[in-house]
Amino acid sequence: MQAGWLSLLRRGGNLLRHSARLVPPSARAGTTTARARPRALSTVPALCSQLSKRNKSTSVNPDLIRPRPELASTSQGHNTLKVLWRDGEADEFPYVWLRDNCQCHACFHTSASSRLLRVAKPLDGRPPEGGAAGYAVRRFGVSGGPLTGNLKRCDPSKAFSAHLKTVFIVLLKVSNDGYFLTVVWENGHESTYETDWLNERAFNPRQQSIYNNKYRLRPELWDSDMSQRIPRASFDELMEDDAAVLKLLESMEVLGFTVVSGARPEEGELQRLSDRASHLVASNYGTTFIVKDKKDASNVAYTSEGLDLHCDLVCLHYKPCVQLLHCITQFSGDGGDSILADSHRVAVQMRELHPQKYRLLTDVLVNFRDVGVDNGFQYDIIARRPMISVKANGEIKTVNMSTFGRDSHFGISPKEAIGWYDAYLTFCDLLYRPENHFTFKLVPDEILIMDNLLSLRR
Ligand SMILES: [Zn+2]
């Protein structure tokens, strides 16, 4: 499994946001808000080392790892190259994928880890001996050893549709040690693949499962019992220890929130903490902002009004991911509580208990709008998305819950609107069941970090 750090960097709309919204207006002293851009991992070499160790030690089930794969033989299928490994396993690689992923310097920029050419673009090159009328499978010495092996021929034009005809294979070579495969294409271009590289990308469920685990940690659905095991971290440890940062990021990816203790009750602490992970990304409220009760407030967060359970800035085309909220001063009497809920858990309940209403919430587009003036900057921002966003595979991506950010314009019929409200209110009933949220109170040295895509708060 890959580290949460990398996962956070992958999320294009990374946002580390600082505010003191959880402090009641009567006690607010103000804080700052900040938003983050991904930072190249190379800028934090110590953490890179930590991640590397973790990847090797825990990211992959050892039972799923083969020894260094050696090629035994290759053969050409209709549209795929068939590979037999020396451990007896077999894989297939589409020709067009092989051509698309040539690792030579003309096709791939190593330091940028980026593809340089589209697969359809023909490359200049000397046609291989024997021309394009057939292909050969032969073995060759890695260090200029003698060529050995047998030659096979066929008509490659049968293997490709017209728009892929630039990817004809005319020669296949496997190194004597079995660790390299070289493909010579019809135009003479030559691609060499290490077997480690090929095997990691094999089109089989085992290898794809390994990469799925590397892609991200699976979120854990939680209920009100989470109040007994709130994930916590130390501010000082996070500033000093990369392992602590990694643990924090993993916790964020799995549970969607963490409480950090030990911050100084003053502005600037969130900047210091967020600098350990990423760059700050601006929104229409800037990169940092102070939350306090304001006259003619541009956002209900700047008022004494109580807020519904919600996520933030749904109006933006990149709904913010990570937010940091620093409690600088806290109300000493009753009040000032925070409420957290796992929005994915409630969405799953909705899908299981009310599948038709769930479909309404995933299918009907809702307008989310933020209009106003803040610090002299005028904005009118609208995003249109369903209340529950799902991925192509049906998994829940995020819940877009914002009572104050949902617009009154609705692009559906009155009958459809009535049905949508029925579904929406059913979701709210589930959300506010006692077992689906918990209440706690931050103290002035604490920072609440939450994933705006996984959790709802009030
Ligand atoms: Zn190439």
Q: What is the CATH number of the domain that holds 393?
A: 3.60.130.10
Cα 108 to ligand 1 centre (Å): 7
H/E stretch holding 409 = none
ipTM tops the 0.95 cut? yes
Residues 127 and 264 in one domain: no
Cα 110 to ligand 1 centre (Å): 12
Cα 77 to ligand 1 centre (Å): 22
Cα 134 to ligand 1 centre (Å): 20
Residues 351 and 434 in one domain: yes
* Strands 136-140 and 169-175, bridge-based pairing: parallel
Residues 307 and 416 in one domain: yes
Residue 234 lies in a domain: yes
Structure tokens at 150: 């047998």
Residues 165 and 307 in one domain: no
Residues 290 and 234 in one domain: yes
DSSP result, 94-108? EHHHHHHT--STTTE
Q: Look at phi and psi of residue 262 and say left if phi exceeds 0, alpha if psi is from -120 to 50, else beta.
A: left
Residues 110 and 159 in one domain: yes
Cα 203 to ligand 1 centre (Å): 21
pLDDT, position 217: 86
Residue 219 lies in domain: 4-55+215-457
H/E stretch holding 25 = none
Cα 113 to ligand 1 centre (Å): 14
Residue 69 lies in a domain: no
Residue 278 lies in a domain: yes
Q: Which of 167, 200, 233 is the last residue of a domain?
A: 200
Buried b or exposed e, range 287-314, using 16+ CB within 10 angstroms = bbbbbbeeeeebbebbeeeebbbbbbbb
Cα 236 to ligand 1 centre (Å): 48
Number of independent structural domains in the chain: 2
pLDDT tens, the chain, 458 aa long: 222 333 343 333 233 323 323 222 222 233 333 333 333 322 333 443 444 443 433 344 444 555 788 999 998 887 889 999 999 999 999 988 999 999 999 999 999 999 998 876 444 333 344 433 333 333 332 222 222 333 333 344 443 444 444 456 778 888 888 899 999 987 888 999 999 999 999 999 999 998 888 888 888 999 999 999 999 999 999 999 999 999 999 999 999 999 999 999 888 898 899 999 888 888 888 877 766 666 666 666 655 556 789 898 999 988 888 888 998 887 777 777 889 999 999 999 999 999 999 999 999 999 999 999 888 889 999 999 999 999 999 999 999 999 989 999 999 999 999 999 999 999 999 999 999 999 988 988 999 999 988 887 77
Residues 425 and 297 in one domain: yes
Residues 172 and 228 in one domain: no
